[in-house]
Amino acid sequence: MNSSIQCRGRPLENKIMESDLSKVPPLGAVLFDIDGTLGISDPFHHKAWSEVLQKVGFNGGVPITVEFGMKNMAGRTNEQIGQFLFPDWDQDQLNKLVQEKEALFECSARQHLKEINGLHKFCKWIEEKGLKRAAVTNAPRYNAELMISILGLSEFFPFIVTGEECGREKPFPDPYLEGLRKLNASPDHTLVFEDSLTGVKAGVAAGMQVIGVAAVGQEKSLAEAGAILCIRDYEDEKLWSALEKLNAC
């Protein structure tokens, strides 16, 4: 039985105490979500969804809140979001809505997308260690490739795995299992970086240790979902302290 499965039934405080990642060495691979984990994209998704939803009169034309978006939309595919918001719409209506939303998102992302603080420093560390890596996302492939390109990471990631191409999206483990398959990596020696409950649950279900990239106020919920460590960004001292201990094992 792998170490992450053994850990699932333990109290939350015990999981947090094991944030030195002592069960992971030798580390062989790192899997990243994209939205909110590599780049600060959530505000652009929120703005795009808010605009298209106001246009069609959702919620009486009152803009959706950030809290509504984080609870009901973060980490989900466009198809999942569309079906949640408009369960009675036909597929053509949903497709048109999503296309308009994606066009708005792309415009904002091309102009304003920024990396999570310290990302390129961490990517350099991964390269220097010779670790395998892949991006695993619920975003559409075009969207995923766009963001990775804007962030200058097209050469860094040999593989991008999208949920819609795996049969089942996050929170099912399928996308992360496919990432492991493509890299020929062991779940016992792979770390996952995620920012959403959906993604954390998927990584844990795939048998891996998950580090949460947590916005303010999200640490507790990500830890409860199974993240063994929560960091604010890739400059976080907690991350580098954990990596230093991992490297010493």
pLDDT per residue as tens digits for the range 98-154: 899 889 988 888 888 999 999 999 999 999 999 999 999 998 899 999 999 999 999
Confidence of residue 240 (pLDDT cuts 50, 70, 90): very high
What phi and psi, each to the nearest 5 degrees, are found at residue 229? -155, 140
CA 196/CA 208 separation, integer angstroms:
15
Q: Is the pLDDT of residue 14 over 60?
A: no
Q: Is the pLDDT of residue 7 over 60?
A: no
Q: Is the pLDDT of residue 52 over 50?
A: yes
Tell me, what's the pLDDT at 12? 34
Q: Is the pLDDT of residue 167 over 90?
A: no
User: Which CATH superfamily groups domain 3-40+116-248?
Assistant: HAD superfamily/HAD-like (3.40.50.1000)
Tell me, what's the pLDDT at 111? 86
Q: What is the mean pLDDT of the chain?
A: 88
Q: Is the pLDDT of residue 32 over 80?
A: yes
Structure tokens at 229: 């460590």
For the chain, domain boundaries:
3-40+116-248, 42-112
Tell me, what's the pLDDT at 13? 35
Compare 221 and 19 and report the one with higher pLDDT.
221
pLDDT per residue as tens digits for the range 168-227: 999 999 999 999 999 999 999 999 999 999 999 999 999 999 999 998 888 999 999 999
The percent of residues in the chain predicted with pLDDT above 90, rounded, is 63
CB atoms within 10 A of CB 207: 20
The one catalytic residue in 20, 33, 88, 188 is 33
Q: Is the pLDDT of residue 15 over 70?
A: no
Q: Is the pLDDT of residue 9 over 80?
A: no
Tell me, what's the pLDDT at 5? 29
Q: Is the pLDDT of residue 10 over 60?
A: no
Please give the average per-residue pLDDT across 16-23, as a whole number. 57
92 is catalytic: no
* Burial (0-12, 13-18, 19+ Cβ within 10 Å), 221: middle
Please give the average per-residue pLDDT across 156-162, as a whole number. 97
35 is catalytic: yes
CATH architecture of the domain formed by 42-112: Orthogonal Bundle (1.10)
Contact 185, 132 (CB under 8 A): yes
The one catalytic residue in 20, 35, 92, 174 is 35
